[in-house]
Amino acid sequence: MPNDLSDASADPSADPSALAALPGLFSEESRVRAFAAVALGAGSDAEVARVAGLSAKETAGALRRLREQGVVAPGDGGGLVVAHGRFRDLARAARPAPDPAGDPGAADGDRTGMILRTFVRDGRLVRLPARWTRKKVVLRHIAEETFAPGVEYPERTVDRKLRAWCEDGEVDHVTLRRHLVDFGHLRRSDGIYRRPVESARVGTA
């Protein structure tokens, strides 16, 4: 018979059948009674048979399966004991996998992706969000995708690059450029625009 839980020291998370095997293990009354007897302190086959009210044959069969499944094991003194550590391992394996939504970093990434999928399609700006926080996400994405940090761009180059984002959209390039400046994604000085970055090497476009 296949031994689904034969190694009590194995990591049960590596064997999904380990958890599924438990209901079947305790589906036989003799195994339940034998396990209960061990839990109550019966340390030998004879004591288990007496406490559980089982025949020697029933006891031997029940204890064999309980030992195979790793839920009953020899104790320090040689007598039978319940392998509590095995149940702890199985309980840990039964816990659901961590939800990415519980990870702030993952949640932020999912939220950003959702916003960009809504307002940016095929490299084009569909429209600007009304909410400030979402608008900032979209504008940051456009700035990062369009302008290299620290590079200086004349206004005509900025307009040309932004027109590509505004094709077939609801926002014109002048409005988009103003928002990028207002939100700090571009800085303007004497008709020259630059995406700010600390310690960036300044070049010229």
In this model, does residue 204 exceed pLDDT 90?
no
Q: Which contacts (CB < 8 Å, 24+ apart) does range 142-147 have?
A: 142/176, 142/180, 142/185, 143/180, 143/185, 143/186, 143/195, 144/195, 147/186, 147/193, 147/194, 147/195
Query: Is residue 5's pLDDT more than 50?
Result: no
Answer for the pair 180, 195: CB distance below 8 angstroms, yes or no: no
Model confidence band, residue 63 (pLDDT cutoffs 50, 70, 90)? very high
pLDDT digits (tens, 9 = 90+) for 67-92: 888 889 888 778 899 888 777 777 76
pTM over 0.75: no
Residue 137 DSSP class? H
Q: What is the pLDDT of residues 140-152, one digit of tens each?
A: 999 999 999 889 9
**Mean model confidence pLDDT for the chain:** 80
pLDDT-based confidence at residue 2 (cuts at 50, 70, 90): very low
